[in-house]
């Protein structure tokens, strides 16, 4: 069955890389210009055609759920002040054409464990994964749309890959592509290594935080033992999946990514999205020019 409707968005992480800003505010609710990070992710998922989101959450993340719920008091205040454009935008957030489920990750046991928490809600269906700290601005077509369309045709799991700079390689899961990719139209992944040193890295291609998996991938996650830090690693399950002769396609990122779990990546995202507004772009460029 290649009908892909569900996508898991793990938001249970504590956002330690962004402290102290995330002490009381979920990192997913930090704003990029005038929208929280998580709204960019949900809009991307909606545009790709997913019908159900599964938030794997934590007790401190209620504001994420509230953001996509109706705010009667706020709507009434905007109505009274005749702020119609803003009212329309606020109402659209709570009237998305998709179903949102939430499930708690009781303990911080890693990304792999967070995905595994969604197993009962995923059921027997294939599923996507979108990491909320990776914000993607596509150049042409939505990357998830391309991956989802391909899955409908071939039923193959896939990962979206970006190019990492040398200094970034030890931060991400780095993949090795199969050699026959030079003559094949389809890029296929041979292996993946979590946060390797520059010397051990098989390439500069890393998982950007968008995945599509056949349902049986959950069983591989179930078999992974916690590492020394007590975490179940998603990358380890992917590597086991590959070693058992499961096909995993690679999609090259079309556009740019911003690691918003990182202070510099978050700052750059704000600048780049602000430049989409003609007034803000003009003022930002003027400010930067005067500061040289």
Q: For the segment 213-240, what is each residue's pLDDT rounded down to a tens digit?
A: 999 999 999 999 888 888 899 999 999 9
Q: Nearest to residue 104, comparing CAs of 65, 68, 52?
A: 65
What's residue 37's pLDDT? 93
pLDDT at residue 21, as a whole number: 85
For residue 93, what pLDDT band results from cuts at 50, 70 and 90?
confident
Q: Chain-centre distance of CA 229, in angstroms? A: 23
Cα 81 from Cα 9, distance rounded (Å): 36
Provide the whole-model pTM.
0.89
CB–CB of 156/211 below 8 Å? Answer: no
Domains of the chain: 6-290 (3.90.550.10)
**Tokens matching residue 81:** 């002040």
Question: With 90 as the cut, is the pLDDT of residue 84 above it?
Answer: no
pLDDT value of position 68: 79
């Amino acid at each position: 069955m290649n009908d892909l409707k569900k996508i898991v968005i793990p938001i249970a992480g504590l956002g330690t890389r962004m402290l102290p800003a995330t002490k009381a505010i979920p990192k997913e609710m930090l704003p990029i210009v005038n929208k929280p990070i998580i709204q960019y992710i949900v809009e991307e998922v909606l545009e790709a055609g997913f019908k159900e989101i599964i938030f794997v959450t934590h007790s401190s993340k209620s504001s994420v759920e509230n953001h996509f719920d109706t705010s009667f008091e706020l709507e009434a205040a905007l109505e009274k002040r005749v702020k119609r454009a803003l009212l329309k935008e606020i109402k659209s957030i709570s009237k998305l054409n998709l179903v949102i489920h939430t499930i708690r990750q009781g303990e911080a046991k890693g990304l792999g464990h967070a995905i595994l928490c969604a197993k009962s809600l995923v059921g027997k269906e294939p599923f996507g994964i979108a990491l909320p700290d990776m914000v993607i601005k596509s150049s042409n077509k939505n990357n998830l749309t391309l991956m989802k369309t391909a899955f409908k045709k071939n039923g193959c799991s896939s990962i979206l890959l970006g190019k990492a700079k040398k200094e970034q390689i030890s931060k991400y899961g780095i993949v090795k592509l199969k050699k026959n990719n030079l003559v094949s139209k389809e890029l296929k992944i041979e292996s993946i290594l979590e946060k390797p040193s520059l010397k051990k890295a098989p390439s500069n291609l890393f998982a950007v935080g968008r995945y599509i998996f056949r349902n049986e991938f959950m069983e591989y996650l179930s078999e992974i033992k916690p590492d020394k830090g007590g975490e179940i690693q998603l990358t380890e399950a992917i590597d086991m999946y590959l070693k058992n002769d499961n096909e995993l396609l690679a999609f090259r990122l079309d556009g740019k990514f911003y690691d918003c779990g990182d202070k510099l990546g978050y700052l750059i995202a704000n600048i780049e999205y602000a430049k989409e507004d003609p007034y803000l772009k003009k003022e930002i460029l003027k400010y930067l020019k005067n500061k040289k």
